[in-house]
Amino acid sequence: MKVKDITNLLEKLAPPALQETYDNAGLIVGDPGMEVSGVLVSLDAIEPIIDEAIERKCNMVVSHHPIVFKGLKRLNGSNYVERVVMKAVKNNIALYAIHTNLDNVLQNGVNAKIAEKLGLKESRILAPKSGQLLKLVCYTPNDYSGQVLNALFGAGAGHIGKYSECSFSSTGEGSFTAGEGSNPFVGKLGERHYEREQRLEVVLPRHAKSAVIKALMDAHPYEEVAYDVYAIENSSPTIGSGMIGQLPEPMQKKDFLTMLKQQMKTAVVRYTETDKTHIQTVALCGGSGSFLIHNAKASGADAYVTGDVKYHEFFDGEDSLMICDIGHYESEQFTIELLHDYLTENLPNFAVVFTQTNTNPIQYL
């Protein structure tokens, strides 16, 4: 098993193209072709984690947070970031981070894990992202439309919300003249040929563009394939920030806060009051999620669960939304479980270990 095999698997779960512009997810240290003896999964990639990886004979660390967010001008050990990178290089340990790209996926993402812990039903993306979808239009002989569609669907096209294999087709007539040196599938050299064709249209995620076009080329019978790719403005229901869902039954505010504290294993919940008597619709965002408070309010949520809320941001609840700050680490701690389970399920005979190190830098008295 090589580093690239692990990273390819992780990038199926959360494509790197989905990370935010400020982020630095991906392979930060290491050779993609290096053989991997074991993977240590953690939330952070700090020095104690590297020490644990060495002790447990793991030469790859998969963390949620990247150790390097911006360029390093020197590597002389003057701060913890440089020391981690130096120790990883010295001990031949690969470092991989799967950060905001894992935050931004609906299935098996950071926020889906929180929703699962809270028992939410009918969960969906709180703030769907636009600019993530494309439309592919291509033309194929009538008898080959099924073959081409199957290839496009297999490469990731045709998903709209909870529906798959979505497409539109219309029949028309195409024409071409095969020139010198060509090898036409139908028609004769030098003669204009008319062919009854299907115009096929499918939606695809932007990050799957290369794979879908390759699938089109491999499945299409023509030597030269006519196709167009359009950017569309539709928001993607499966890509975006935060989540919102329903508790199975309405809960009194105190009972909800008690459940939240227990399920998220946090020492403290900072929260605002609300004029609502019960909590049922819950919005959430792992990590620093104050940027979604207004989305949570607009969605009709009774409570919003996140971390790193600043003093003045608590006022944004305006009594109609209970803002619950459970802490950054606490909101994302189960991401380790998510990644461990995903890798173990897909690599059942490979050593994937759960860190025994608590990397939370914040202590409570």
CB 14 within 8 A of CB 47: no
CA atoms within 13 A on the CB side of 128: 15
Mean pLDDT of the chain: 96
Q: How far apart are CA 205 and CA 307, in angstroms?
A: 29
Sheet harboring 270-271: ordered strands across?
121-128, 240-252, 278-288, 303-307, 322-325, 270-271
pLDDT in tens, 307-354: 999 999 999 999 999 999 999 999 999 999 999 999 999 999 999 999
**Residue 146 confidence (pLDDT):** 96
10 Å CB burial of residue 137 (0-12, 13-18, 19+) is middle
**Residue 353 confidence (pLDDT):** 96
**Residue 70 confidence (pLDDT):** 85
pLDDT in tens, 75-133: 999 999 999 999 999 999 999 999 999 999 998 999 999 999 999 999 999 999 999 99
CB 216 within 8 A of CB 139: no
CATH 3.40.1390.30 in the chain: give the residue spans. 3-101+334-354, 110-128+240-325
Domain at 133-232, CATH class = alpha beta
- pLDDT band with cut points at 50, 70 and 90 for residue 7: very high
**Residue 161 confidence (pLDDT):** 82
Q: How far apart are CA 67 and CA 287, in angstroms?
A: 16
Q: Please state which architecture CATH assigns to domain 3-101+334-354.
A: 3-Layer(aba) Sandwich (3.40)
- The CATH classification number of 110-128+240-325 equals 3.40.1390.30
CATH 3.30.70.120 in the chain: give the residue spans. 133-232
pLDDT above 90: residue 71: no
**Residue 19 confidence (pLDDT):** 96
Lowest mean per-residue pLDDT among 45-54, 231-240, 260-269: 231-240
